[in-house]
Amino acid sequence: MNFEELKIKLWQENKIEQEQRLEGHNVNDQHLPFEEIAIPKMPEANFFTDGNIFINKHHRYSEMPAHTHEFVEFNYMLSGHCVQYVNEQRIDLQEGEILLMDKDIVQRIDPLGKDDILINILLKGDSITTGIIVNMVKSNGLVNEFLLSASNDYSDHNAFIYFRSGQKKEVQEIVHKMILEYYQKENYYMRSINLLLSLLMIELTRVIEADSLENSQEQDEEILTILRYIESHFTALTLSDLAKFFGYNSNYMSNKLKKETGYSFQKLINNMRYQTALDLLRETDKTLEEIAHDIGFDSVPSLYKLFSKYTDQTPKTVKSVLNKGQN
């Protein structure tokens, strides 16, 4: 089966869709207690019998009442469009676009028409949250952090992210491969889907960066140059060295960074060290001693002290969680 053949299958009405179209009411196939609880929670137990990712088609022709989830969810608009309300914010999801929602977020969906095909991609496990995903998507660079903070679309994601990926064929091709792998269920399909998910994160990074750069035309080019310099030299850079390089005194440079980015010089350095350490924990087999040295520390205790500023987990625990999330 190829993807075009799968699309034909997805367009076919299933029994629930037939009932919803003919009877004009929502079929509560997940048996959520809407009559007892105003906003019930959709449990993990209903899904994930085959692995940590579950993929299905959202049933058409009826609204989905307000509910929350015990899992992270991607909504991918394969065809047409749909209107969703996420924490009461209206999202008009267009073909090729993706909506990422965290656990416990309140979601409701207006009825989908005949040509509106919405695909749900559910992610299981405490190790997978939008916090982790956002860190993957946002990339490590201080420049990107600055641009994202300047973008209304991504600076306050409110536990969801709306990716305007309708023109991004690379994104759509990866999602299509994930869907096809799930429906074919050939050997190692769950491993393949998890690897494709990592590729999807990279492409969604590019979607956010492109949007952020487009919205940053009026940003101070000098501060971007300064942040790029910090990115390149953070392991051994001092405020005095930075100020001297750009022809300022230390107090002026410190105030400029705080004013433009909202962070002190040391906070920017710590952010780079922490994000780089996360990358090294996730992507390499380096020891904690090696990682500490790579980010500019003389000892492992300094690495632990850094992590304590951002998380209650140790570097060793974080590495275990990140590895689990990729399996």
Which three-class secondary structure string do you get for 69-127? ECCEEEEEEEECEEEEEECCEEEEEECCCEEEECCCCCEEECCCCCCCEEEEEEECCCC
- The pTM assigned to this predicted structure is 0.66
| Last residue within a domain, chosen from 179, 214, 249 | 214
Residue count (the chain) = 327
Q: Looking at the structure, do residues 301 and 256 belong to the same domain, yes or no?
A: yes
pLDDT of residue 106: 93
CATH code, 280: 1.10.10.60
Q: Looking at the structure, do residues 192 and 228 belong to the same domain, yes or no?
A: no
pLDDT of residue 327: 52
Separation between Cα atoms, residue 151 and residue 89, nearest integer Å: 17
| Last residue within a domain, chosen from 163, 186, 214 | 214
What's the structural domain count of the chain? 2
Q: Looking at the structure, do residues 100 and 61 belong to the same domain, yes or no?
A: yes
Separation between Cα atoms, residue 220 and residue 216, nearest integer Å: 9
Q: Looking at the structure, do residues 28 and 131 belong to the same domain, yes or no?
A: yes
- The pairing of strands 160-163 and 98-101 is antiparallel
Instruction: Please report, in tens digits, the pLDDT of each residue of the chain (327 residues total).
Output: 899 999 999 999 999 999 999 998 999 999 999 999 999 999 988 899 888 899 999 999 999 999 998 888 999 999 999 999 999 999 999 999 999 888 888 999 999 999 999 999 998 865 455 444 555 444 556 665 665 454 444 434 457 888 889 999 999 999 999 999 999 999 999 999 988 988 888 788 778 767 766 655 545 678 878 988 999 999 999 999 999 999 999 999 999 999 888 889 999 999 899 989 988 988 888 999 999 999 999 999 999 999 999 888 898 887 776 666 555
Count CA within 13 A, CB hemisphere, residue 2.
Answer: 2
- Angle at which helices 169-184 and 3-11 cross, to 10°: 80
Q: Report long-range pairs for 142-146 (Cβ below 8 Å, ≥24 apart).
A: 142/227, 142/228, 142/230, 142/231, 142/261, 142/268, 142/271, 142/272, 143/224, 143/227, 143/228, 143/231, 144/209, 144/212, 145/271, 146/219, 146/223, 146/224, 146/227, 146/260, 146/261
Q: Looking at the structure, do residues 140 and 283 belong to the same domain, yes or no?
A: no
Domain that holds residue 238: 221-326
Q: Looking at the structure, do residues 210 and 225 belong to the same domain, yes or no?
A: no
| Last residue within a domain, chosen from 164, 182, 214 | 214
Separation between Cα atoms, residue 322 and residue 327, nearest integer Å: 9
The structure tokens listed for 231 are 């990115």
pLDDT of residue 127: 47
Q: Looking at the structure, do residues 172 and 37 belong to the same domain, yes or no?
A: yes
pLDDT of residue 71: 87
Which residues on neighbouring strands pair with residue 82, listed in sequence order?
Answer: 93
Q: Looking at the structure, do residues 166 and 294 belong to the same domain, yes or no?
A: no
Report yes or no: 154 and 208 within 8 Å, Cβ to Cβ: yes
Q: Looking at the structure, do residues 24 and 173 belong to the same domain, yes or no?
A: yes
Question: Can you give 194-209 as a three-state secondary structure string?
Answer: HHHHHHHHHHHHHHHH
Q: Looking at the structure, do residues 148 and 26 belong to the same domain, yes or no?
A: yes
Q: Looking at the structure, do residues 160 and 239 belong to the same domain, yes or no?
A: no
CATH code, 158: 2.60.120.280
Q: Looking at the structure, do residues 121 and 77 belong to the same domain, yes or no?
A: yes
pLDDT of residue 105: 87
